[in-house]
Amino acid sequence: MASTTNSPSTLLTLPSFSIQTSTFLPKTSQRSIFKKKKPFKFNSKRVVSCKASNGKQNDADTSFLNRFDRRDILLGLGGSLYGATSLVRDPFALAAPIAAPDLSHCAEATVRPTGGVQTTMGIDCCPPVSTTIIDFKPPSVCKIRYRQAAHSVDCRYLKKFEEALRLMRELDKDDPRSFMQQANVHCAYCNDAYPQTLFPSQPIQVHDSWLFFPFHRLYLYFFERILGKLINDPDFAIPYWNWDSPSGMSMPEIYVDCNSPLYDSKRDTSHLPPSLVNLYGSKDNDFSRERQIKCNLNLMYREMVRSKTPSLFFGKSYRAGCPPSPGQGSVEHGSHIAVHKWVGDKNQPYHEDMGNFYSAGRDPIFYAHHANVDRMWNIWKTLPGKKRRDIDDRDWLDSAFLFYDENKNLVRVKVRDCLDSRALGYDYQSVDIPWLGSKATPRRRGRAPRRRPPFGRAPGRAMAAEINNTIAFPIVLDKIVRFEVPRPKKSRTKIGKKDEEEEEEEEEEEVLVIENIQLDKDAPVKFDVCINDDDDEDDGKPVGPEDSEFVGSFTNLPHGHGQPGAKLTTTLTFSISDLLEELGIEGEDNIVVTLVPQEEVGLVSIGNVKIDYIRD
């Protein structure tokens, strides 16, 4: 596959400024805010790379542009955007958050049919432009609104909810509070309709990064406020679809009445109740209800319990001037995308509505789905572990979005404004969380996968593949591949008294990193990742979500924009510290990794696979 590497000139294609690429330094007039007695000196400790995670330097990044702090570049491009007063005191205090978009620069989104057909469809999902923007002020909270589980709402609530959505659907099409305009909010932010401020060649994308959770929380907040305003009920709260619990794993009945404003015709009709959602993927299987529930709970345990650090849960850092989609968090690449694909209608050319970013907001069930995703944020912070906290990087905290509120005001709101749902006036009805104790079971413990002769394997085995240690990356994933990956460090002992260095290392999370994943943005690619699996078990079944050896999956929800064949380049990271202990291989020098293509085989390439260590 062709590489989509961004050259320095890509980041500096600006309409109003000129910069000397030989020095990447501000013009003399723009450097006047620095102390004149001390000429500018490059400080290697201040490097902020687009490839860095949570503000940490990536030593492997040798791009010339990335050897300079983008904040210095932003200063040269007009640092007043970030406040000249603070720059006088500390020029390196410049922040580089993703700025709220300029609505007047919104462009038409272009979507291609899923499956690689070359015809395209233009989508106008740009909102009305307002000349007045107000900054968000937290609401005065006198009473908490509780979002209820959708499967348990009563007739009184349902009548109110249906009336609110009916009124929203009846608003004028140009009213920013109308249902279609609200649906288009997701399209604009998710199908690359907005260019980044100062970096117009780079789009704003709220998926595949640390912006995923805060954007969708704020999106639902304003959607909910508009519904409440329309029925004159400030205490109204939208429901959530708790697909993470057996009692809520079927599509909620309130959304399947074709005479209700909650209904959407573009859904997979084979997945209507009583079918259980498949959090592993969109493909149907022959699992019993008991096995499907077990698999779903095992997957939720992986996403929530094993992801102990902010970068694993929220996703990778995404800063001004950087390409989009650096890497998803655990929930985003897991249950979130699985539900989208499970609901979307595969008979539609773009898998509408839920199966494509551009149209997902057109299905009312989208908001119940994302309410449960948002609920995962609240739950994750209550789980044991001192690292389960919000990100403290100000580039995340100061990233901003624009939404229209219930009074048609265009509001600029930052990530820091939405860290506590109760401060926004809402919380979630409490229900059982059965996945907390649903750890998968190892198929083996402490045994290395068997190396069989090439002709010794049984035919038809889904996981049949030899260990290949001569594999040369990058590779096109057109078949199952298995290879050994060295571990830079072995596990630390947990017996006896640790010294400070050992204790510091114990806090590191060992992760499996799949780098430079490249595919077409509109390709519904999926592949699985396993560790120390054995495809020659007695039962002959491939490793699945109920097995500890199954690490997780990469799944792409189509969101093409721009020229046909536009590429997505991203990274996938899995926590494996607990997994290695469960498998009894924490002392091994190498682990065996298996990549199993599941959907759109041969349409994704992998740049590298490695073991790393993070300490958020």
CA-wise closest residue to 512 among 491, 530, 526, 533: 530
Q: Which of 24, 212, 357, 366 is catalytic?
A: 357
> Does 333 show up as a binding residue in the annotation?
no
Q: Is 201 helix (H, G, I), strand (E, B) or coil?
A: strand
As a whole number of angstroms, the distance between CA 50 and CA 61 comes to 9
CA-wise closest residue to 100 among 191, 175, 210, 195: 195
Q: Which of 151, 186, 351, 561 is catalytic?
A: 186
> Does 336 show up as a binding residue in the annotation?
yes
Contact 235, 228 (CB under 8 A): yes
> Does 105 show up as a binding residue in the annotation?
no
State yes or no: is 357 an active-site residue: yes
Cβ neighbors of 159 (< 8 A, separation 6 or more) are none
Rg (CA), the chain: 25
CA-wise closest residue to 176 among 225, 141, 136, 209: 225
State yes or no: is 351 an active-site residue: no
CA-wise closest residue to 378 among 390, 393, 392: 390
DSSP states of 62-116 as a string? --TGGGS-HHHHHHHTTGGGG-HHHHHH-GGG---PPPPP-GGG---EEE--TTS
Partnered with residue 553 across adjacent β-strands are: 528
> Does 370 show up as a binding residue in the annotation?
yes
Q: Which of 370, 401, 483, 550 is catalytic?
A: 370
> Does 186 show up as a binding residue in the annotation?
yes
> Encoding tokens for residue 363?
């299905």
Long-range contacts of 151-157 (CB under 8 A, 24+ apart): 151/241, 151/242, 151/247, 151/248, 151/250, 151/252, 151/253, 152/429, 153/239, 153/254, 157/239
Cβ neighbors of 513 (< 8 A, separation 6 or more) are 571, 572, 573, 609, 610, 611, 612
> Does 271 show up as a binding residue in the annotation?
no
Cα–Cα separations (whole angstroms), residue 466 to 450, 479, 529, 589, 608? 9, 11, 15, 19, 19
**∠ at Cα 354 (348, 358), nearest 5°?**
85
CA-wise closest residue to 458 among 534, 528, 531: 534
State yes or no: is 370 an active-site residue: yes
Q: Which residue has the tokens 């068997």?
A: 450
State yes or no: is 207 an active-site residue: yes
CA dihedral over 480, 483, 488, 491, signed as positive or negative? positive
Cα–Cα separations (whole angstroms), residue 17 to 287, 323, 528? 59, 20, 45
Q: Which of 68, 151, 207, 333 is catalytic?
A: 207
As a whole number of angstroms, the distance between CA 200 and CA 342 comes to 34
State the DSSP H helix or E strand holding residue 400, giving kind and residue range, or none if neither: strand 400-404
Burial of 329 by CB count in 10 Å (0-12 exposed, 13-18 middle, 19+ buried)? buried
State yes or no: is 216 an active-site residue: yes
Q: For residues 600, 604, 608 and 609, what is the CA-based torsion angle, rounded to 10 degrees?
A: -20
* Residue 30 main-chain phi, psi, to 5 deg: -85, -15
CA-wise closest residue to 127 among 178, 180, 170, 181: 181
Q: Which of 151, 271, 333, 336 is catalytic?
A: 336
State yes or no: is 186 an active-site residue: yes
Q: Which of 136, 212, 215, 216 is catalytic?
A: 216
CA-wise closest residue to 523 among 203, 202, 111, 183: 111
As a whole number of angstroms, the distance between CA 413 and CA 408 comes to 15
Q: Which of 333, 340, 351, 561 is catalytic?
A: 340
Looking at the annotation, which residues are catalytic? 186, 207, 216, 336, 340, 357, 370
Q: Residue ranges for the binding site for Cu cation?
A: 186, 207, 216, 336, 340, 370
Q: Residue ranges for the binding site?
A: 186, 207, 216, 336, 340, 370
